[in-house]
């Protein structure tokens, strides 16, 4: 039986969960993406996909109970609602204040950002934000009980293991925080966190790095995290315009199969990865090209003549990715409602009782010809994002800066670093895509909302006229 003290918290989190599920209710069914079919298939058939971990496929299998993907998005919403609830409790120890700020912020974020759309999507994207918030709680929550610390740890472990980019982003985030904290300590400034907390976070990160290849070994007998890293990196080399240069420089002395196609390379990485006429498939597929592509990749990073190009393209791609804040543009296509699409096939096969619901969702244009329209939402979100930037500039360039508490500074550092590393990792190890940035950029307005609520009495004075002393 739940203790009386836990019941109000649970009810608050459950109401937050319902708020976060609004987009799924509005659509009429959980949202799908082109990769959703592969995730569902891999989880139910127990095979390691060529280009992603098995972990999220298993998450869909077991959280849906083989009955409904609605259960999976409910769990996603619950995990985020739980993490956000304790984040607000961390900033506002008084229960009533935390609850009010929590619910109001959820309403604003669901209505005006891409948060609700990411929660409702049958993809691991929302776990990037869940993992970042869980890391903040793990490091900075001073009153966390052993039970809550266990919950934070499990969320962090799950969030890291559902996608390769999450593992690398979390590693870069931990490394940056560790170096920054070491710099502070050397200058006799208070440490950001307890050392035991950082050791625990690093341990969980290492466990996640080992868990993915261990899971793959248990299923297929191969201890490897990814079967496709060489293909995605080769695609990145192609998009940079450097692959042609490397082949021109070395095809005379190296016996690469790819040299036969160096004058007719695909136009971009997507065609290299997925076009049936791509040199990859002509050479035997993803596995067959591993050794050769790794040799070409090593040439590109080991030779100084290519370093300037790598550095320039890395910076440029990161900057472009940071600006990719659009919501939902890749969710709006007739393809998801066609029998040839993997999401269509897997929903029909694994969840036949709900297949009609899937067909009649707004994403697939329902009986009333209602579809998804993101134009107004993107306009509102862009305005909110710029207002958030202006508000932060106001805070950090005025006397209000002194009202920012150490904890708020710490959260600001983590949020900004996570947004930056998300852009850097996804843009340089995969492709520049709006989906990758929209999965986390909504946390920037969240950060501003928390700063505003945490210092409401000070910000309110901005709009108050000075009193007339002669009155």
Q: Rounded CA gap, 262 and 252, in Å?
A: 12
- Res 177 pLDDT > 50: yes
What integer pLDDT is reported at residue 469 of this predicted model? 47
- How far the first Cα of the chain sits from its last, in Å, is 61
pTM: 0.93
In a domain, 466, yes or no: no
| Residues 149, 177 share a domain | yes
DSSP helix/strand/coil, 289: coil
The DSSP code sequence of 314-330 is: HHHHHHHHHT----STT
Whether the Cβ atoms of residue 128 and residue 166 lie closer than 8 Å to each other: yes
- Could you give the CA distance from residue 104 to residue 263 in angstroms, rounded to a whole number? 57
Is residue 326 very low, low, confident or very high in pLDDT (cuts 50, 70, 90)? Answer: very high
471 domain residue, yes or no: no
Q: Is residue 246 domain-shared with residue 207, that is, in the same domain?
A: no
At which of 322, 352, 367 does a domain end? 322
Same domain, 451 and 386: yes
Q: What was the pLDDT predicted at 471?
A: 44
- What residue numbers bound the domain in which 264 lies? 229-322
More confident residue, 94 or 447: 447
Structural domain contains residue 467: no
- Shared domain check, 102 and 118: yes
Query: Is 192 inside any structural domain?
Result: yes
**Residue 469 covered by a domain:** no
Domain's final residue, options 322, 345, 370: 322
- pLDDT tens-digit profile of 328-361? 988 999 999 999 999 999 999 999 999 999 999 9
Rounded to whole angstroms, what are the CA distances from 182 to 188, 189, 195, 206, 431?
A: 10, 10, 11, 20, 33
pLDDT classification of 1: cutoffs 50, 70, 90: very low
CA distances from 204 to 142, 210, 294 (A): 19, 10, 29
Contact 106, 84 (CB under 8 A): yes
**Judgement on whether residues 153 and 243 belong to the same structural domain of the protein:** no
Is the pLDDT assigned to residue 467 strictly greater than 60?
A: no
In a domain, residue 345? The reply is yes
Are residues 418 and 269 part of one domain? no
Tens of pLDDT, residue by residue over 59-111, are 999 999 999 999 999 999 999 999 999 999 888 765 566 777 888 999 999 99
The answer to whether residue 108 is domain-embedded is yes
For residues 272 and 415, membership in a common domain is answered with no
Number of domains in the chain: 2
pLDDT at site 397: 77
Are residues 207 and 63 part of one domain?
A: yes
Could you tell me if 282 and 353 are in contact, meaning their C-beta atoms sit under 8 angstroms apart? no
Whether residues 36 and 155 share a domain: the answer is yes
For the stretch 101-154, pLDDT in tens is 888 999 999 999 999 999 999 999 999 999 999 999 999 999 899 999 999 999
Indicate whether 102 and 205 sit together in one domain: yes
Q: Can you give the three-state secondary structure of 168-195, one letter per residue?
A: HHHHHHHHHHHHHHHHHHHCCCCCCCCH
Q: Which residues of 42-56 are buried (b: 16+ CB within 10 A; e: fewer)?
A: bbbeeebbebbbbbb
**β-bridge mates for residue 121, sequence order:** 31
Does 27 share its domain with 45?
A: yes
pLDDT reading at 465 higher than 50:
no
Question: Which letter, b or e, does each residue of 65-79 get, where b requires 16 or more Cβ atoms within 10 Å of its Cβ?
Answer: eeebbbbbbbbbbbb
> In the chain, pLDDT over 70 holds for what percent of residues?
94
Of 337, 285, 320, the closest CA to residue 27 belongs to 337
Q: State yes or no: pLDDT of 228 exceeds 50.
A: yes
Sequential DSSP letters for 50-113: TTS-SHHHHHHHHHHTTT-HHHHHHHHHHHHHHHHHHHHHHH--SHHHHHHHHHHHHHHHHHHS
Single out the residue in 322, 356, 379 at which a domain terminates: 322
Asked if the structure places residue 363 within a domain, the reply is yes
Average pLDDT, the chain: 91
pLDDT at site 70: 98
- Label residue 405 by pLDDT band (50, 70, 90): confident
d(CA 313, CA 322): 14
Give percent of the chain with pLDDT exceeding 90: 73
How many helices and strands in the chain, by DSSP H and E?
A: 24, 0
Angle 243-245-248 from CA coordinates, rounded to 5°: 110
pLDDT at 50: 86
Q: Looking at the structure, tell me whether residues 121 and 49 fall in a common domain.
A: yes
């Amino acid at each position: 039986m739940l203790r009386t003290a836990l019941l109000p918290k649970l009810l608050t989190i459950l109401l937050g969960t319902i708020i976060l599920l609004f987009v799924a209710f509005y659509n009429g069914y959980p949202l799908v993406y082109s990769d959703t079919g592969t995730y569902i298939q891999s989880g139910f058939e127990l095979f390691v996909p060529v280009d992603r971990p098995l972990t999220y496929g298993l998450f869909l299998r077991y959280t849906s109970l083989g009955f409904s993907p609605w259960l999976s998005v409910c769990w996603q919403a619950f995990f985020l609602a739980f993490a956000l609830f304790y984040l607000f409790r961390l900033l506002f120890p008084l229960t009533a204040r935390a609850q009010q700020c929590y619910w109001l912020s959820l309403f604003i974020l669901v209505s005006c950002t891409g948060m609700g759309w990411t929660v409702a999507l049958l993809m691991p994207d929302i776990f990037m934000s869940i993992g970042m918030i869980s890391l903040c709680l793990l490091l900075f929550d001073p009153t966390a009980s052993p039970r809550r610390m266990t919950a934070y740890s499990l969320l962090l472990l799950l969030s890291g293991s559902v996608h390769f980019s999450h593992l690398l982003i979390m590693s870069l985030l931990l490394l940056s925080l560790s170096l920054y904290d070491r710099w502070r300590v050397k200058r006799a400034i208070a440490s950001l966190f307890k050392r035991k907390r950082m050791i625990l976070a690093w341990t969980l990160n290492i466990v996640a790095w080992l868990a993915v290849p261990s899971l793959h070994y248990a299923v297929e007998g191969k201890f490897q995290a990814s079967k496709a890293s060489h293909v995605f990196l080769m695609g990145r080399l192609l998009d940079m315009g450097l692959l042609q240069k490397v082949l021109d420089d070395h095809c005379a002395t190296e016996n690469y199969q790819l040299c036969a196609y160096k004058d007719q390379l695909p136009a971009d990485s997507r065609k290299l990865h997925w076009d049936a006429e791509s040199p990859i498939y002509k050479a035997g597929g993803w596995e067959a090209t591993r050794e050769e592509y790794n040799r070409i990749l090593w040439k590109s990073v080991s030779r100084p003549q290519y370093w300037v190009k790598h550095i320039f393209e890395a910076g440029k791609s990161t900057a472009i990715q940071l600006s990719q804040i659009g919501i939902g543009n890749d969710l709006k296509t007739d393809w998801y409602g066609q029998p040839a699409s993997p999401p269509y096939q897997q929903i029909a096969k694994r969840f036949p009782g709900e297949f009609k619901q899937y067909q009649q969702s707004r994403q697939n244009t329902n009986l009333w010809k209602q579809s998804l329209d993101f134009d107004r939402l993107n306009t509102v979100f862009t305005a909110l994002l710029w207002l958030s930037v202006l508000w932060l500039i106001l805070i950090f360039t005025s006397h209000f800066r002194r009202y920012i508490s150490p904890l708020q500074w710490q959260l600001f550092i983590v949020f900004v670093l996570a947004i930056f590393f998300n852009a850097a990792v996804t843009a340089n190890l995969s492709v520049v895509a709006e989906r990758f940035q929209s999965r986390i950029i909504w946390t920037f307005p969240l950060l501003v909302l928390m700063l505003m609520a945490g210092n409401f009495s000070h910000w309110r004075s901005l709009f108050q006229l000075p009193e007339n002393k002669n009155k």
